[in-house]
Amino acid sequence: MPRTIAVLALLAAACGPMTPGADAGACPIALAGAYPDGGFATNAAAELTLLGKLNALNAPMRAAELDAGATVTRTQLDDLNGAGSPSLASLTTPGFQPVAAETFTAFLAAQGRIWTPTEPPNAGGLYGVGTSQWIFSGRGVDLRQVIDKGLYGALFYAEAVKRMPNATTPASIDQLLALYGATPDFPQNDTTAPGRDELTAKYAKRRTPQGTPGAYTTLRDAFVRARLAAGNPGCAAERTAALETIKLEWEKIFASTVIFYVNSAATKLQDPAADAAKRASAMHDLGEGAAFFIGLKAVPASSRRITDVQIDQVLTALKIPSLGGATAHQLLTQVPPDVDGLLMANTRLQSVYGFTADEMTRFRTNY
């Protein structure tokens, strides 16, 4: 018997038949068990293509980071960003579109150069050694990460929360799951293909120890509840509640991942024996963390817990309030670096999201 049919049969047997006139306020099915996988690839076909499009946009930019002789053109970036229907550009929030354009311009100006951090800042370029090298702006911003991780919020999360009020069918929940980056199997594995966790699901996995309740399992269970409730009028309230859980927990993954990267960057920057590869890695960590919130800021404020003011406070602590206003390069030009200022971002995030001391400790580790 196919897995989905078996699951639904068990649920039906446990709950009994639905009868006309039953209490409309009571959900007549059990909202637990496995996520039904019937039709996922078909239902979410368009959403599943978006990861490939993001990877395609990343590829020539990463090639330019690994080889100073490799360059990308603005036409290439614009074409990749606008490829297909839907395209990345067509789904990106209006608030992030000028950020993306500014980042492309800065990346093109910095590629093919070697960056030596200076005060005042210069045009930027390649910084690091071997595979631990990235293209930074002269102000110390990892430019590719602004596009990559910025779109996790400004496209994938933004598109999901925009659809949630009308996500009333099983197919629509499948589409949200694809935007999150998981599959019906929820493998809690971000390394082994096919079916591995991607996008935000990858970072939920990294924030959750195997066998321990955490972000990954909370979102898994909420997606199961939403999928089983979808299409059943008696379960509308349960579906809405599950989607609210998904929205908040998704946002909290961004926050907890910023906390991880701040801790990682601070540790590396404080190492007196750090070589160029380690210093570059620290700046990459910082840029990756900031990019999540640069993208989240482009999501309408009504769709997130954190306010614009609070996001600005976090990005200011990260020394990347904007591309043009960043002072992250000073972490490399000033001795000692202002690590205490960086760590203020974590304090603010703990306050906004109510993370416990145990969670803050756990967020220091990739699982």
Digit-coded pLDDT (tens) for 54-78: 999 999 999 999 998 899 999 999 9
Residues in CB range of 88: below 8 A, 6 or more apart: 50, 53, 54, 57, 80, 81, 82, 151, 155
Report phi then psi at 136, rounded to 5. -115, 150
The verdict on residue 26 lying in a domain is no
The verdict on residue 323 lying in a domain is yes
- Of the candidates 143, 54, 150, the residue with the CA atom closest to the CA atom of residue 102: 143
Residues 198-253 pLDDT 10s: 999 999 999 999 999 999 999 999 999 999 999 899 999 999 999 999 999 999 99
The verdict on residue 236 lying in a domain is yes
Q: State residue 166's pLDDT score.
A: 97
Q: State residue 5's pLDDT score.
A: 34
Q: State residue 192's pLDDT score.
A: 87
- Confidence check: pLDDT of 355 > 90: yes
Report phi then psi at 114, rounded to 5. -105, 130
Share of the chain above pLDDT 90, in %: 90
DSSP category for residue 191: S
Number of domains in the chain: 1
The verdict on residue 20 lying in a domain is no
The verdict on residue 90 lying in a domain is yes
- Rounded to whole angstroms, how far apart are CA atoms 131 and 65? 9
Question: Does residue 328 contact residue 140 with C-beta atoms inside 8 Å?
Answer: yes
- Rounded to whole angstroms, how far apart are CA atoms 37 and 8? 11
Helices 199-206 and 215-229, axial angle in degrees (round to 10): 130
Residues 291-316 pLDDT 10s: 999 999 999 999 999 999 999 999 99
Instruction: Report the chain's terminal Cα–Cα distance, integer Å.
Output: 35
- For 108, the token pair is 């093109």
- Rounded to whole angstroms, how far apart are CA atoms 37 and 346? 38
- Confidence check: pLDDT of 16 > 70: no
Q: State residue 14's pLDDT score.
A: 33
Cis peptide bond prior to 300, omega within 30° of 0: no
- For 244, the token pair is 């609210």
Beta partners for residue 114, in sequence order: 126
Residue 14 CA from chain centroid, whole number: 37
- Of the candidates 189, 144, 106, 131, the residue with the CA atom closest to the CA atom of residue 288: 144
The verdict on residue 329 lying in a domain is yes
The verdict on residue 10 lying in a domain is no
Using the structure block, give the residue that is written with the tokens 């007549």: 28
The pLDDT of 6-30, averaged and rounded, is 47
Residues in CB range of 142: below 8 A, 6 or more apart: 134, 135, 136, 283, 284, 286, 287, 288, 291
Helices 170-180 and 215-229, axial angle in degrees (round to 10): 160
Q: What is the pTM of this model?
A: 0.92
Structural domain harbouring 67? 37-362
- Of the candidates 190, 252, 195, the residue with the CA atom closest to the CA atom of residue 218: 252
Neighbours of 102 (CB within 10 A): 16
- Of the candidates 182, 210, 204, the residue with the CA atom closest to the CA atom of residue 195: 182
- Confidence check: pLDDT of 290 > 70: yes
Q: Lowest mean pLDDT of 20-34, 81-95, 149-163, 281-295, name the range.
A: 20-34
- Collapsing DSSP to helix, strand or coil, 55 comes out as helix
Question: Does residue 135 contact residue 143 with C-beta atoms inside 8 Å?
Answer: yes
- Confidence check: pLDDT of 12 > 70: no
The verdict on residue 302 lying in a domain is yes
- Rounded to whole angstroms, how far apart are CA atoms 291 and 143? 9
Q: State residue 268's pLDDT score.
A: 98
pLDDT band at 25, cuts 50/70/90?
low
Report the mean per-residue pLDDT for the chain. Answer: 93
